[in-house]
Amino acid sequence: MRSEETFYSIALRHCPLIGDVVFRKLVGEVGSAKEVWELSKTGLQNIFGIGKKIALEIGDPKHLKFAENEIEFCKKNNIVINLRHFGDLPILLNECEDAPAILYQKGKFDSLKKPISIVGTRNISLYGKQFIHNFIDGIKGGNAITVSGLALGVDAEVHEVSLDHHLATAAVLAHGFHTLYPSKHRKLSERILSNGGVLFTEFNSSQKPDRENFIQRNRIIAGLAPATIVVETAFSGGSISTATFANNYNREVYALPGRIDEKYSQGCNQLIYQNKAAVISTIPNLIDQLGFNNKSEKIGELFPNNEIRILLSDSQQKIIDQLDKRIPLSLDDISLKLEIPSYKILPDLLQLEISGYIRALSGRQYLAL
C-alpha cells in the first residue's frame, strides 16, 4: 500500500500544472494518489478547479515511467520519500498550506529538537559572522537544530559553525539529489549527514537549481521552524522572501540591525521598520525569546553582558533586584518597595528597557529578562 501510493504520488506530482496545492486538493477529494490516477477524465473534470489540461495529463504512462525511475534512484542513494498526505512531513512544515506534497530526505531530522531557521546574504560580513558564532555558541547546549539553505555566505556559515559546536543542522536544497549546488559545498553536505543532520528537497532528480527554485525552497526553510532569523540582506535579497513566508505562516521573524549605509543591513533594517521582524538587540535576549536558555553557561553577546552591567547605576541595579522573570511588577509596586517616587524611577526603567534588562508590559507592568 505504502510503496504503491508513493509510486502514484510521484507520477501525479510530475504532471504539468499539478503543484502542491492542486495535488492536495485532488487527493483530498478522491482519497489517494492511486485513486486520482485511476479516476476517469469525466470524474476528474467534475472536481472543482480541475480543467481539461490537467485531466488529460493524469493517466499518461510517461509519468508512471518517471515515478519508477525516481523510486529506483532514491533506493540507490538512501533517499527517504516523505508524503504529506501520509503525515510524513515535519510537524511545523505540515501546518503550512502550501507545504510540499513530496519531500525527499537524506539523513535524520530529530523531531524532538527545536529548529531555528537562519538566513542571509551570500556576501556575509565580519559583523554577520560574529553574530552567527556568538548566537550558535549561546544555544549549543540546548536542544536545537539549525536550518538554512546550504548557499554561500550566511547559509554556509550557519551550517559550519553548527557542526563546529556539535549542533545538528538541516540544509534545504533548491534542486534534486542528483546534483549539489554550489558544488564546493559537497564536503559540507557530507559533514552535515555524518554529524546527525539532514538534507531536504522537494525537487526530484530531474530538477536543476533553476533561479525560481530558490524562492520556492525558501518557504520550506521558513516552514520548518517556529522562528526565522535574518542576519544580513539587501533590500531585494532572497532572505526577504524567507521572512515573508515566515510572516505568512504566523511564525516569528528576527532581524539583525545594522548601519543604514551598509547595503546588506538595509534589508534587515527595512523588515524592522515595516514591523515584519523584531529587532535583535542582544543575543541573550534573543536566546531567551526563542526559548533556548541554557542557565549553566555564560552566553556571549554582541556587547558582553558584564561590560554593560558595569555601567548600571545603583538605582538601576536596585530596580532589577526587585523584578521577576515570570510575575510582572507594576510601577507603583516598584515605587513602594524601593520607597522612591514613581516619577524618579521612570527614567531608570526606560534605560533598563533600552539596554535589554527588562520588558515593559501594558499598564506599566515590568518583567526582568
Q: d(Cα 203, Cα 81) in Å, to the nearest integer?
A: 11
Q: d(Cα 257, Cα 306) in Å, to the nearest integer?
A: 22
| pLDDT recorded at residue 188 | 98
Q: What are phi and psi of 49, to 5 degrees?
A: 90, -5
Q: Is residue 137 a contact partner of residue 300, using CB atoms and an 8 Å limit?
A: yes
191, containing H or E segment: helix 186-194
| pLDDT recorded at residue 51 | 81
pLDDT in tens, the chain (369 residues): 689 999 999 999 999 889 999 999 999 999 999 999 998 888 888 887 788 888 888 989 999 999 999 999 999 999 999 999 999 999 999 999 999 999 999 999 999 999 999 999 999 999 999 999 999 999 988 799 999 999 999 999 999 999 999 999 999 999 999 999 999 999 999 999 999 999 999 999 999 999 999 999 999 999 999 999 999 999 988 999 999 999 999 999 999 999 999 999 999 999 999 999 999 999 999 999 999 875 444 444 454 544 444 467 888 888 988 998 888 888 888 988 888 887 788 888 888 887 778 888 877 788 888
Q: d(Cα 24, Cα 46) in Å, to the nearest integer?
A: 16
Helix (H, G, I), strand (E, B) or coil at 278: strand
Sequence-distant (6+) residues with CB within 8 A of 218 are 119, 149, 238, 239, 241, 242, 245
Beta bridge partners of 228: 117, 253
Q: d(Cα 306, Cα 327) in Å, to the nearest integer?
A: 25
The CB density around residue 94, as the number of other CB atoms within 10 Å, is 15
Q: d(Cα 208, Cα 216) in Å, to the nearest integer?
A: 13
Distances (CA, A) of 64 to 28, 82, 186, 345: 21, 18, 31, 73
Scanning the structure block, which residue is given the C-alpha cell 539596554? 355
Q: d(Cα 233, Cα 131) in Å, to the nearest integer?
A: 14
What DSSP character marks residue 185?
G
Q: Under the phi-then-psi rule, with left for phi > 0, alpha for psi from -120 to 50, and beta for the rest, what region is 364?
A: left
Q: Name the grid cell of 131.
A: 553574530
| pLDDT recorded at residue 7 | 97
Q: d(Cα 8, Cα 340) in Å, to the nearest integer?
A: 73
Alpha helices (H) in the chain, listed in sequence order: 2-14, 20-30, 33-38, 41-45, 52-57, 61-76, 91-94, 126-139, 154-164, 186-194, 211-223, 238-248, 263-273, 283-290, 305-310, 314-322, 331-338, 342-354
| pLDDT recorded at residue 139 | 95
Helix (H, G, I), strand (E, B) or coil at 360: strand
Nearest by Cα to 226 from 97, 110, 114, 111: 114
Strands 169-172 and 144-148, sheet pairing: parallel
Q: Is residue 301 a contact partner of residue 369, using CB atoms and an 8 Å limit?
A: no
* pTM recorded for the entire structure: 0.80
Helix (H, G, I), strand (E, B) or coil at 90: coil
Q: Name the grid cell of 83.
A: 508524503
| pLDDT recorded at residue 348 | 85
Scanning the structure block, which residue is given the C-alpha cell 532572505? 239
Q: d(Cα 10, Cα 83) in Å, to the nearest integer?
A: 9
- Which DSSP string do the residues of 15-40 spell out, in sequence order? STT--HHHHHHHHHHHSSHHHHHHS-
| pLDDT recorded at residue 309 | 46
| pLDDT recorded at residue 302 | 54
Distance of CA 204 to the CA centre of its chain: 22
